[in-house]
Structure formats: C-alpha cells, structure tokens
C-alpha cells in the first residue's frame, strides 16, 4: 500500500461511487460501500484502531489524543460519493507531470479541452503535477481528494508523536451529492465538538457561508379528454407545466447569476396530458430571499392556472439545508484557527462563500459547527475536473497544522 496523497487519490478515483437521487435506500448505491470498506481497512493499517464501515455506508475512525490538555474534539469529514451529473464508471486518471501551461486536451475525447481561459486557476499550476480524466468520465476529486488528504494527514499525525493534538475524529459520508450525506450519521457515536469538511476548491480557501436551500415540487392536474373532442374542454398538464417554466425569470437562473445572487432552477419535468410534475431547487444566502423566491414561484403558478379553470396544482417545499454562517458566527475560533493553519501551511488564506452546500451545512444546524476547507479540485461534476498534487499536499499540511493549533490554544 502506497502512502502519498497522490497515490491514495489515484487508487480511490477508479472505484465507482456515484450516488442515485432516485433511490430510497441508504446509501443510495451499494457500490459506495466498496470504497468505504477500502478506506476502513486503510485507516486500520495506519493505526486508526476503531475504523469501521457501518450499515448505512459511513466510515468512522478515531485518533486518540496525545496531550493532557482539554482540547475540543475535532472531526475531519469528506464524502465518498460522486455526482450523478456525469458518468463515474471506468475513470482513467491522467497525471500531467510538471505542467508547462496551456490548454489540456483530454485523450479519451479530444473534443473536451480544459482551457486556461475558462479555468484561470491553471495559471497558478505551472510546474505542478495536474490530474485529469481521459475526458469520458468525471474525475471524482469531489470529494476523493478530501478523503486522500484526510487519510494522509492522519498517517502523518499518528506516525509523529511530536505533533501534539487532541482527539481527532474521521468521518466519510455517502450520498452528499444527492443531499443525504448526514441523514443517518450517528453524532453521539462520532463524539465531536467541531468539524471541518474538506470539500472546497482553490488552495488556501475557507468557506464559512453557504446558500440556504429548498427543494420545490409542483404537481399539476389538468383535464384529459380525447384530442378529437378536446376543443374548449382539454387542459393539457404538459402545456401548463411548460408555461410555468417559461415564466421563470431569466435573471434568476443559475446561468445568469453569480456571487451572492440566488436562483430558481428547474431540475426535472415529467408528465402526461392529465398530470405533470416540475422539480426545482431554490437557493439564496438569506432566508428572506429564499422565501421571496418561493412566493414568486407560487404567484407564477397561480397566474398561469388562471387560464385553466378546470385544472389545479399542489406546491410542496422541502427544506434541504441552511446557511452555516448563522452557526459559525457564534463560534469564531473555528474559522480563525483554520485561517491560521493555512498561513502556517504557506498560503495566504481567503475567506469566502459557497454557491452550494456541503455536509457541513446540515451538520452545523445539527449541533456540529462545520466550515469547509479547500481540497484543491476544480470543475466539479464534469469531465473537465482536475486537481494538482501540490494543492492536495497543501491541504494535508493544513490539516496537520490545524490539529496542532487547537492543542496549542486549548
């Protein structure tokens, strides 16, 4: 078993762990446990004696404290699943050693090119070893880079008694990409006081704010009748649903928003003449903005339905996660220590927001404050995904420094 962060990463990404949003099981795909079993075995091999995979697909482990100080118990967390947005089967990682700059054409599909103009962070990777796929699958740096970094840091901490630290917990979760990453996590068994996910992008970044997020289902019941006798009587549910989607404000779409702007985003549409269903996600950094967008959405539905007096609708809102900043602002040392760890690892820290969410979004509101640290990957959920070895090594160093800072300042 090799023990560098790169060799671990390359070993993990070839294991298919895509989650499935249509599945009702936990985990949503059994193949996620294939990686979970490997990770539990590797943790045991480096000295994490209690490492194990549970029936729900979670990997837990503990590094005991080597100090007498009363140090808060820290958890480092990453997710094992990859996104269902693009194939994760048969990943063929490519390592471009000593990257010299310029666009990267992917050999398995030369039509796919990682262009510097679209990925400006490549300008900071000159001389690095850059990992991509062959262009036919996603890479899985989201979030197998984070997993490789946590295990590599754990091996260094265990092997070096001079690294003083409190109790450290390790958690690898399934199903994060489909919004169920912490549905069955056992926080009592985990026993952590604070946590950090390693699920971010650019080296040096710490994210202490996420979107607040809801899912919306709109069910339309139309009036079905034989099309030969439909004049003045038929109310086609597919047409009604299409009219609703057409009325969504273009300036509130993901493709037209950035920064702290939220959005309304239809993710699925299915139907027949009698019934149709629209699935959407709603995102905003404030709860007020979230509710305003949901009210606007219902106003649109009602307005469209006025032209269809025989039809009806049902709109259901499901809470997905909330902005972690509300919790983290009450615990400033958690982020401040992370910023200092990044400085000690040789980088200038950047504090920012995520236009999305992590397991930490929900963990924070479950009583486990949890900001997000960089893992080094880029272009997540696509065949253009890439990560550099050197950035993964910086994340390893950040984890080690962070464990020491909490011990020093206890």
Same domain as 336, residue 282: no
**β-pair type (194-200, 74-79):** parallel
pLDDT at 1: 45
Q: pTM for the full model?
A: 0.90
Same domain as 38, residue 184: yes
Domain final residue pick, 321, 338, 371: 321
Same domain as 289, residue 342: no
Distances (CA, A) of 77 to 27, 196, 315: 17, 6, 35
Same domain as 223, residue 178: no
What is the domain count for the chain? 2
For residue 123, give the DSSP letter.
G
Helical (H) or strand (E) element with 283: strand 275-284
- Tokens matching residue 215: 């899912």
Sequence-ordered list of residues with C-beta below 8 angstroms from that of 116, at least 6 positions apart, any chain: 101, 102, 103, 122, 123
Asked whether the beta carbons of 401 and 228 are under 8 A apart, the reply is: no
> pLDDT per position in the chain (410 positions), as tens?
458 999 999 999 999 999 999 999 999 999 999 999 999 999 999 999 999 999 999 999 999 999 999 999 999 999 999 999 899 999 999 999 999 999 999 999 999 999 999 999 999 999 999 999 999 999 999 999 999 999 999 999 999 999 999 999 999 999 999 989 999 999 999 999 999 999 999 999 999 999 999 999 999 999 999 999 999 999 999 999 999 999 999 999 999 999 999 999 999 999 999 999 999 999 999 999 999 999 999 999 999 999 999 999 999 999 988 999 999 999 999 999 999 999 999 999 999 999 988 899 999 999 999 999 999 999 999 999 999 999 999 999 999 999 999 999 99
Same domain as 178, residue 158: yes
Q: Which of 353, 378, 387, 53 is nearest to 361 (CA)?
A: 353
Q: Which of 173, 169, 146 is nearest to 380 (CA)?
A: 146
d(CA 265, CA 211): 14
Q: Which of 90, 127, 94 is nearest to 112 (CA)?
A: 94
pLDDT at 3: 86
d(CA 39, CA 75): 16
Q: Which of 234, 301, 222, 233 is nearest to 266 (CA)?
A: 301
Neighbours of 302 (CB within 10 A): 11
Asked whether the beta carbons of 151 and 39 are under 8 A apart, the reply is: yes
Domain final residue pick, 298, 321, 344: 321
Same domain as 58, residue 106: yes
Asked whether the beta carbons of 377 and 201 are under 8 A apart, the reply is: yes
Q: Report pLDDT digits (tens) over 64-92.
A: 999 999 999 999 999 999 999 899 999 99
Active site residues: 81, 176
- Here the CATH number for the domain that contains residue 335 is 3.40.630.10
- Here the CATH number for the domain that contains residue 237 is 3.30.70.360
Same domain as 132, residue 83: yes
Same domain as 366, residue 296: no
d(CA 161, CA 341): 19
Helical (H) or strand (E) element with 275: strand 275-284
| Pure H helices in 222-309 | 237-246, 287-305
Asked whether the beta carbons of 226 and 169 are under 8 A apart, the reply is: no
pLDDT at 2: 57
Same domain as 223, residue 205: no
pLDDT at 62: 98
pLDDT at 356: 85
Half-sphere exposure of 268 (CA within 13 A, CB side): 13
Domain final residue pick, 299, 321, 343: 321
For residue 395, give the DSSP letter.
H
Neighbours of 177 (CB within 10 A): 24
Asked whether the beta carbons of 171 and 59 are under 8 A apart, the reply is: yes
Domain with 355 in it: 5-210+323-408
Asked whether the beta carbons of 32 and 79 are under 8 A apart, the reply is: no
Same domain as 175, residue 80: yes
Same domain as 370, residue 232: no
Same domain as 282, residue 149: no
For 230, phi then psi, to 5°, come to: -90, -15
């Amino acid at each position: 078993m090799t023990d560098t962060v790169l060799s671990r990463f390359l070993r993990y990404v070839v294991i298919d762990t895509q989650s499935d949003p249509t599945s009702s099981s936990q985990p949503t795909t059994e193949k996620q446990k294939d990686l979970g079993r490997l990770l539990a075995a590797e943790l045991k091999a480096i000295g994490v004696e209690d490492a194990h995979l549970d029936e729900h697909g979670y990997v837990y482990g503990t590094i005991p404290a080597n100090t007498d100080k009363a140090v808060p118990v820290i958890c480092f967390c990453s997710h094992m699943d990859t996104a269902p947005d693009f194939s994760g089967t048969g990943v063929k990682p490519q390592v471009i050693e000593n990257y010299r700059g310029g666009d990267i054409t992917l050999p398995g599909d030369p039509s796919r090119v990682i262009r510097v103009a679209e990925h400006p962070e490549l300008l900071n990777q000159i001389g690095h070893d850059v990992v991509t796929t062959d262009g036919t699958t996603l890479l899985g740096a989201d979030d197998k880079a984070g997993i490789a970094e946590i295990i590599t840091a754990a091996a260094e901490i265990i092997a070096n008694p001079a690294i003083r630290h409190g109790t450290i917990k390790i958690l690898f979760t399934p199903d994060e990409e489909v919004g169920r990453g912490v549905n069955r996590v056992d926080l009592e068994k985990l026993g952590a006081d604070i946590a950090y996910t390693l699920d971010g992008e650019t080296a040096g970044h710490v994210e202490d704010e996420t979107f607040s997020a809801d899912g919306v289902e709109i069910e339309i019941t139309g009036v079905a009748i034989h099309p030969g006798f439909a004049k003045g009587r038929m109310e086609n549910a597919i047409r009604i649903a299409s009219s609703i989607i057409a009325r969504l404000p273009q300036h509130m779409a993901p493709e037209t928003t950035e920064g702290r702007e939220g959005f309304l985003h239809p993710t699925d549409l299915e139907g027949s003449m009698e019934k149709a269903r629209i699935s959407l996600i709603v995102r905003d950094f404030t709860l007020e903005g979230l509710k305003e967008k949901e009210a606007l959405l219902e106003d649109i539905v009602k307005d469209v339905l006025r032209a269809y007096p025989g039809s009806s609708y049902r709109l259901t809102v499901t809470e997905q996660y909330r902005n972690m900043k509300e919790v983290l602002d009450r615990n400033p040392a958690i982020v401040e220590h992370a910023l200092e760890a990044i400085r000690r690892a040789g980088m200038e820290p950047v504090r920012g927001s995520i236009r999305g969410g992590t397991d930490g979004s929900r963990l924070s509101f479950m009583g486990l404050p949890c900001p997000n640290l960089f893992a080094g990957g880029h272009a997540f959920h696509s065949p253009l995904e890439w990560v550099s070895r050197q950035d993964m090594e910086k994340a390893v160093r950040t984890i080690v420094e962070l464990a020491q800072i909490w011990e020093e300042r206890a």
